[in-house]
Structure 1
């Protein structure tokens, strides 16, 4: 997940020696760097899968510096995705001009080009102009022709994560989070959504920290592809809408505010921009069908990140209340399921707008 700068302390000791050698080699190729060995390390806050650092070298020109990004992989997160696949995805997307370049790899991380753009904040996602830019960029991302089979990963991934969560949990945790009933829920959702044929290459983690904007050109860049795979596009959009309830840069980054979930008009506007961004005007029926699917895939998003939270609690050392985060995602699943798998009517949207949820 994404990150923002926190220059309050230098954690150079956190950078492995292997990475420092690559960094020194990179810097020695820049003639204006004063000292290739003298690097500033700035931790970037908000990442929950990896540790991320900005690396800076001062140059012979006053107030000018070279920057790169160092990503140190989180402990045990290989249970979530195949690291080699993620690197291949990273390199492919980079070649398409869609993200940062890969500058070097070391045993437990990599070095990336530093993008001179601003990482979005939580409130940016609700800004209509910004949201339209994100919708158009998401449509472009979904059209990437990734090499290999175009198989949906969502349902297999949910089942694999459920097995892992059950293996790592205590019996008390498994009972509290109703894990024994989740297998049936996954099958129910898969069956309910089996008619959806709109598949694309999805990011699957489009929270604000993974979206950057160049303030001058207004160009959007999507970063961090750990969870990226072919999936129903409605799942990716649903996941993005759910992320509007989060702010990972507060004193309680694990707390979600579901009153911030976008209302009906906001969702319709996003989907209309998404469908029309490559030309043409979608019919009202196309907009309504995608909107309905997005709302149902919201349930899959809750299961996805609920299981992620439980597993993360047991494998990741990053300071974040993963179990409370998981509890909220599962709670939303059970609260929203009756309305979303029944009839999707205006009464649901009134409830959402009020921030009150049926039990």
Structure 2
């Protein structure tokens, strides 16, 4: 939905951010000598402290996502774009803030993505605005995420370019594209493209993101695989959420974290033994959240000679980290069972899990693009064994995905729980989602004989 025409003068103050490498006071009015009077009016009385944090331009100002339709929000956003020197936006002339269009792309009111455009000037590119939710800081490290995005875009040309950050969000590159839908994951060709793209991401050196390992270091010392780290660090927060008086006893019973932890530890021990006997799934730099909403399909024509799978762009690297490649694939397969646009977006339909033939189609594309597992004919013994081994590894790592997202759902429910929102009033039933994933976790470890 497009926002209504907006206009109003802006007045905002910014406090000094912490842990900076460089900083300087910046007054947009100084920039306005090169811009139009209409922009200058909108930006009067604004003074920001511009700093360099994590190698990116940063202003310690908060944007309130709940007011994104207001004129003051738009004026503040324009001022940020100028200070952060967003390409074209920072030097545009005759900018009329009342004509800026803001369209909400996804997320809740307090944790959302917006497309920001200026139709009066075709040369002014659309930019993507992200505003973080208050509970997201309990789940991810924003500084690590920004470091990851910077390395991926600058060194590997993967993901969007980050133009700059502010206290509770960032402005980044917008791709002229459409977001995939649930049915797209089931398309044979698109599934192969996703497999190829995932293999390319898995070729990123872990040390480029996490730093070098010492000679004697082992997994868990210099870095820890993401799924284990996430469950370990999110559990204490989840316990606090479930301890809130607004949480019904019946929900605490279903989301029994003591029982989960016991099952999780038992599962990890079993998993460790299986990998010693059968061989471990290679540790790679993984996305860990390849749901259809995080995969874009470019609408423009690709440059001549560009492989067709490159029309897919994976975004949203909040949960990217080192993980077994089988975990990343298993996690993606579970997203086949989700439909976040349905009347029950928190429930997964496990009958939609990819069939053996659909998994084979994905694996073949993955093998054909990975640097470590060269493509071989799937009709020979070695090729069939390779496919069977990967499918087995995906199966044994599958419960880990359910366990991680079950705890995530509880933590994400924090705001709704504190506000006392009923399941029907919340934008997304996070606790319902957590129950679905946790029930599936116990079901799958039982099937595995854990």
- 252-261 or 205-214, larger mean C-alpha shift: 252-261
Match of residue 338 from structure 1: 446
CA contact (8 A) 1:199 1:230 kept: yes
Match of residue 80 from structure 1: 139
Q: Distance in 1 between matches of 2:186 and 2:94?
A: 41
Deviations 1:113-137 (A, max 9, x none): 1111221111100101000000000
Structure exhibiting the larger radius of gyration computed from Cα positions = 2
- 230-239 or 145-154, larger mean C-alpha shift: 145-154
Count of aligned residue pairs for this structure pair: 335
How big is the shift at 1:48?
9.6
Runs of 4+ in 1 over 4 A off after TM superposition: 14-18, 30-34, 46-49
Work out which of the residue numbers 257, 261, 264 in structure 2 matches 1:186.
Answer: 264
- 21-30 or 113-122, larger mean C-alpha shift: 21-30
- 240-249 or 254-263, larger mean C-alpha shift: 254-263
Match of residue 413 from structure 2: 313
Work out which of the residue numbers 287, 308, 311 in structure 2 matches 1:203.
Answer: 287
How big is the shift at 1:15?
4.2
Matched, 1:120 2:177: no
How big is the shift at 1:177?
1.3
RMSD between aligned alpha carbons? 2.6
**Mapping 1:280-295, distance limit 5 Å:** 280-281=375-376, 283-295=383-395
Other structure's SS at 1:81 match: coil
CA contact (8 A) 2:89 2:124 kept: no
Other structure's SS at 2:118 match: strand
Q: TM-score, normalised by structure 2?
A: 0.69
Deviations 1:281-310 (A, max 9, x none): 172112111111111211111111111111
How big is the shift at 1:160?
2.0
Match of residue 346 from structure 2: 254
Deviations 1:88-138 (A, max 9, x none): 011111112111111121110000111112211111001010000000000
Q: Can you give the 5+ residue segments of structure 1 that lack an aligned partner in the other structure?
A: 1-5, 343-359
Other structure's SS at 1:193 match: helix
Other structure's SS at 2:112 match: strand
Q: Distance in 1 between matches of 2:286 and 2:109?
A: 20
Match of residue 100 from structure 1: 160
CA contact (8 A) 1:43 1:52 kept: yes
Change (3 A) 1:211 1:24: same
Match of residue 335 from structure 2: 243
CA contact (8 A) 1:159 1:183 kept: no
Q: Can you give the 5+ residue segments of structure 2 that lack an aligned partner in the other structure?
A: 6-67, 212-221, 303-307, 377-381, 420-425
Deviations 1:192-224 (A, max 9, x none): 332224110011111001111224334221101
Match of residue 350 from structure 1: none
CA contact (8 A) 2:3 2:101 kept: no
Other structure's SS at 1:212 match: strand
Q: Distance in 1 between matches of 2:118 and 2:261?
A: 51
Change (3 A) 1:118 1:33: farther
- 90-99 or 181-190, larger mean C-alpha shift: 181-190
How big is the shift at 1:28?
4.4
Q: Distance in 1 between matches of 2:94 and 2:271?
A: 55
Work out which of the residue numbers 232, 241, 249 in structure 2 matches 1:159.
Answer: 232
Q: Distance in 1 between matches of 2:444 and 2:177?
A: 37
Change (3 A) 1:16 1:193: farther
Matched, 1:22 2:80: yes
Work out which of the residue numbers 286, 302, 306 in structure 1 matches 2:402.
Answer: 302
- 15-24 or 66-75, larger mean C-alpha shift: 15-24
Matched, 1:70 2:170: no
Q: TM-score, normalised by structure 1?
A: 0.85
Change (3 A) 1:254 1:322: same
